[in-house]
Amino acid sequence: MGREEDVKVVSFWASLFGRRVEWALKLKGVEYEYIEEDIFNKSSLLLKLNPVHKKVPVLLHHHKPLIESSLILEYIDETWIHCPLLPPQPYQKALARFWSQFAEEKILESAWIAMCFSGDEKESALQVGRESMQKLEDEIGGKKFFGGDNIGYLDIALGWIFYWLPVWEQVGSFQFLGPLKFPDIVAWTANFLNHPIIKDSLPPRDELLFYYHHRRSQLSSTS
Ligand SMILES: N[C@@H](CCC(=O)N[C@@H](CS)C(=O)NCC(=O)O)C(=O)O
């Protein structure tokens, strides 16, 4: 897949949403130019490309911008149809989208609250996060990936769980995951991390730790 496709990704090195887009492009072998954005001092490029939310990632395909990582994943899958990410059957497709949205609303949000805050807010986030993780554990049910033998849309959407979540757990001194409680999810995280394309496309863990420690103290001093 050559450069004639003119694909650019505007993102921020620590963004788990941005990595989704990069993983999908890499898994499909689509070459792209990466443009790093400073989300704390937003460029005129970002403001022009995403005036609605002013967030990364943005995918630029032939100069046309697209935002929202889950929609970008679908666009990538429909544009470069080899190595499909979403299952072909409408029902399975709908389920993949459902679980992706569920994990975003219930686990990602709870993990962020558990990392940044304390007291009752943290405790109820921990409860929601753990209950929701159990639902994912039931859903994967011993498969190598949520997509079966290969990484698919849902794996990419949930990919932050194997790398960002342990960092957030360390920064916020909490635990969602655990090999005894969620053995299938923990096995999945290892499969994901061992995938050659994924493991070569991750931010350095120590920098991620440093970054989220900093974010946590910034947020707690403003709340
Ligand atoms: N729902 C969006 C979330 C994107 C998002 O939150 N991006 C963060 C970086 S991880 C951002 O750009 N933050 C800048 C801001 O909130 O001003 C997606 O899936 O693409």
Please give the domain boundaries of the chain with CATH numbers for all domains: 3-79 (3.40.30.10), 90-222 (1.20.1050.10)
Per-residue pLDDT of the chain (223 residues; tens, 9 = 90+): 545 789 999 999 999 999 999 999 999 999 999 999 999 999 999 999 999 999 999 999 999 999 999 999 999 999 999 999 999 999 999 999 999 999 999 999 999 999 999 999 999 999 999 999 999 999 998 899 998 999 999 999 999 999 999 999 999 999 988 777 899 999 999 999 999 999 999 999 999 999 999 999 998 777 6
Mutation to probe ligand 1, out of 15, 55, 101, 215 (largest number of atoms < 8 A from CB): 55
What pLDDT sits at residue 223?
65
Note the pLDDT of residue 177. Answer: 83
Distance from the alpha carbon of residue 66 to the mean position of ligand 1, in angstroms: 13
Contact 72, 21 (CB under 8 A): yes
What pLDDT does residue 159 have?
93
Give the closest residue (by CA) to ligand 1 atom 2: 68
Q: What is the pLDDT of residue 181?
A: 86
How many angstroms separate the alpha carbon of residue 109 from the centre of ligand 1?
A: 13
How many A from CA of 108 to the centre of ligand 1?
Answer: 13
Ligand 1 and 35: CB distance under 6 A: no
